[in-house]
Amino acid sequence: MDSPIGIPQAEMLPKSVHPLRPGVRKPVQSAIRSVSYHLFMSATPVHSTVLSFEDARRVVEEQAALIQGSIVAGMGTESVDLLGAAGRVLAETVAADRDLPPFPRSTRDGYAVRSADLSQLPATLEAIGEIKAGEKLDRIPSNIAPGKTASIMTGAPMPAGADAVVMVEYSSQHGKQVKITRGVAPGENIVARGAEGQEGALLLDRGLRLNEAAIALAASVGKSQLQVYKRPRVAVLTTGDEIVNVGATPGPTEIRNSNSYSLGAQIRRAGGEAVLLPIAPDELQGLRRLIEEGLRSDLLLMTGGVSMGRYDLVEQALSELQAEFFFTGAKIQPGRPVVFGKCGAGARASRRGETYFFGLPGNPISTMVTFELFARPILEALAGQSPRSLAFLHARLKKEIRIKTGLKRFLPASLSGEFEHAEVELVAWQGSGDIAATARANCYIVIPADREQIPAGEWVAVMKSDC
Ligand code: AMP
Ligand code: MG
């Protein structure tokens, strides 16, 4: 099998036909059964359940919805100050404490007028006062009678009688005489009282990840503290005899642990708190002990040890712990051997009794991509966040792509240009272990599983990992 764009051979082989571990897996399910994804629940051997990307993602979303349904009882909450709440998930509802805006607000600097007075242009009106933002009620003219006007500033309350604001650009004032050269429709340049939200209206709901607009809205209704969900604790267990800690000096054939750190960063961004466990050996007993420790967290993410090598023991260890597997692979590249399931063993100390886990492939880019595609929705659900779909941008492909069919690809790429000129091209890489190439990339091009060739100039889907 040739390997387009440097795809490692092992990743392109279906797990079930890999020669290294005959007998361990049953043949690949060609289609999933809609009734149940729980294809086995016993100890070894592990059945192989390799799903299309879409089916695997659906399974994840279904589990995320189940978590979401039970989250209020499960997760603790804490009160944080408003700025500290940015990026957190709201655990209370926020309502309007008064009408928004609390008075009819001028959106322009200009003149408060009766629109009917401007039926003949130019019109000359008599100025009877000035209203600035924050003007005391007793200083606002009590009525704008026909033929009268008041100068008004942006953000100032409208006086009674006036029904529109003419922008200052269409006026000139000499003494009390104001000449106006353009008409206005009733309501123009005014936001009516309560138009943005009536007193008591729900503004922000539980489960919302608080961005700057939500923080501003909470500020505008006087919330200096917000109740948010506690961050779920996510255990990160990296496996492999060749992996050493970042601070250690690696031997000639050893590799520094980078996956725990990419995951730590992704976990943080998705609203969790990473707990890095010691590196697990490629040996069953030690691995199982650390898996049990990891299962005490709210979510367990393992990296490595899920491919078809003789020392890829993660599934076996989980299976011995009576884990339930939703899938053991997805037809994607990078990241095909990704494993998703849940397990009760060792989880008694976790908040939920059963702990979800992912076995993410050890190749660093596979780890990053499979986190974004599959682990993130589960972590977000555990963090109390309402489900959301994957977000894609679109950009024009700069250079033709030729690729084998059968796997949906998420390939590191470089996005440039803006608006209708957005362009994207693959970065040259050495396959799913090439961290340096991926650090030069700023997105992933998404290639459907049935496309062999995509010509330059076609609009393609692009996944930004940070949106
Ligand atoms: P595995 O999935 O265990 O077969 O590992 C696939 C590749 O990823 C191998 O080249 C590993 O050395 C590498 N790898 C596994 N874990 C890590 C890690 N924590 N950091 C960096 N590379 C890793
Ligand atoms: Mg390994």
The residue contributing the CA closest to ligand 1 atom 10 is 363
Could you report the per-residue pLDDT of 270-314, keeping only the tens digit for each?
999 999 999 999 999 999 999 999 999 999 999 999 998 998 999
Could you report the per-residue pLDDT of 214-236, keeping only the tens digit for each?
999 999 999 999 999 999 999 99
Write down the pLDDT at residue 11: 36
The residue contributing the CA closest to ligand 1 atom 3 is 304
- From residue 335, how far is each of 30, 189, 442 by CA, in Å? 19, 54, 18
- How far is it, in rounded angstroms, from Cα 443 to Cα 465? 6
Three-class DSSP labels, 164-211: EEEEHHHEEEECCEEEECCCCCCCCCEECCCCCECCCCEEECCCCECC
Q: Between residues 35 and 352, which one has the greater pLDDT?
A: 352
- How far is it, in rounded angstroms, from Cα 191 to Cα 199? 15
- How far is it, in rounded angstroms, from Cα 445 to Cα 435? 16
pLDDT at 7 over 50: no
297 Cα to the center of ligand 2, angstroms: 23
Confirm or reject: Cβ of 432 under 6 Å from ligand 1.
no
b/e code 93-107 from CB counts within 10 Å (16+ = b): ebebeebbbebbbbe
User: Of the residues 315, 363, 369, which should be mutated to test ligand 1's pocket, given the most ligand atoms within 8 Å of the CB?
Assistant: 363
For ligand 2, a single-atom ion, the residues with CB < 5 A are 240, 304-305, 362
- How far is it, in rounded angstroms, from Cα 303 to Cα 398? 33
Q: Minimal CA–CA distance to 243: which of 299, 202, 290, 208?
A: 290
List, in sequence order, every residue forming a beta bridge with 330; answer none if it has no partner.
51
Report the mean per-residue pLDDT for the chain. Answer: 90
Percent of the chain predicted with pLDDT > 70:
87
Mean pLDDT of 315-324: 95
Specify the pTM: 0.87
Neighbours of 330 (CB within 10 A): 28
Write down the pLDDT at residue 98: 98
- How far is it, in rounded angstroms, from Cα 439 to Cα 451? 26
238 Cα to the center of ligand 2, angstroms: 9
Name, in order, each residue with C-beta under 8 angstroms of 175's C-beta and a sequence gap of 6 or more: none
Instruction: Please state the φ and ψ torsions of residue 210, each to the nearest 5 degrees.
Output: -85, 110
Write down the pLDDT at residue 70: 77
- From residue 238, how far is each of 253, 301, 309, 371 by CA, in Å? 17, 8, 16, 14
Residue 353 — very low, low, confident or very high, per pLDDT cuts 50/70/90? confident
Q: Minimal CA–CA distance to 309: which of 6, 4, 8, 2?
A: 8
Write down the pLDDT at residue 180: 98
Write down the pLDDT at residue 24: 37
Residues found in the chain: 467
Residue 4 — very low, low, confident or very high, per pLDDT cuts 50/70/90? very low
Could you report the per-residue pLDDT of 413-436, keeping only the tens digit for each?
999 998 899 999 999 999 999 999
Beta carbons of 166 and 115 less than 8 angstroms apart: no
**Structure-block tokens of residue 228:** 């948010």
Residue 156 — very low, low, confident or very high, per pLDDT cuts 50/70/90? very high
Check residue 371 and report its DSSP letter. I
Q: Both ends of the chain: CA-CA distance in Å?
A: 35
Three-class secondary structure of residue 242 per DSSP: coil
Could you report the per-residue pLDDT of 11-51, keeping only the tens digit for each?
333 343 333 333 333 333 333 433 333 443 334 556 889 99
Beta carbons of 463 and 332 less than 8 angstroms apart: no
240 Cα to the center of ligand 2, angstroms: 4
Mean pLDDT of 394-417: 97
Angle 270-272-275 (CA atoms, 0-180°, nearest 5)? 130
pLDDT at 5 over 80: no
Beta carbons of 299 and 20 less than 8 angstroms apart: no
Write down the pLDDT at residue 69: 78
Instruction: Please state the φ and ψ torsions of residue 129, each to the nearest 5 degrees.
Output: 170, 180
Three-class secondary structure of residue 368 per DSSP: helix
Could you report the per-residue pLDDT of 175-210, keeping only the tens digit for each?
999 999 999 999 999 999 999 999 999 999 999 999
Write down the pLDDT at residue 380: 95
Angle 282-285-286 (CA atoms, 0-180°, nearest 5)? 60
Instruction: Please state the φ and ψ torsions of residue 367, each to the nearest 5 degrees.
Output: -60, -50
User: Of the residues 7, 241, 259, which should be mutated to test ligand 1's pocket, given the most ligand atoms within 8 Å of the CB?
Assistant: 259
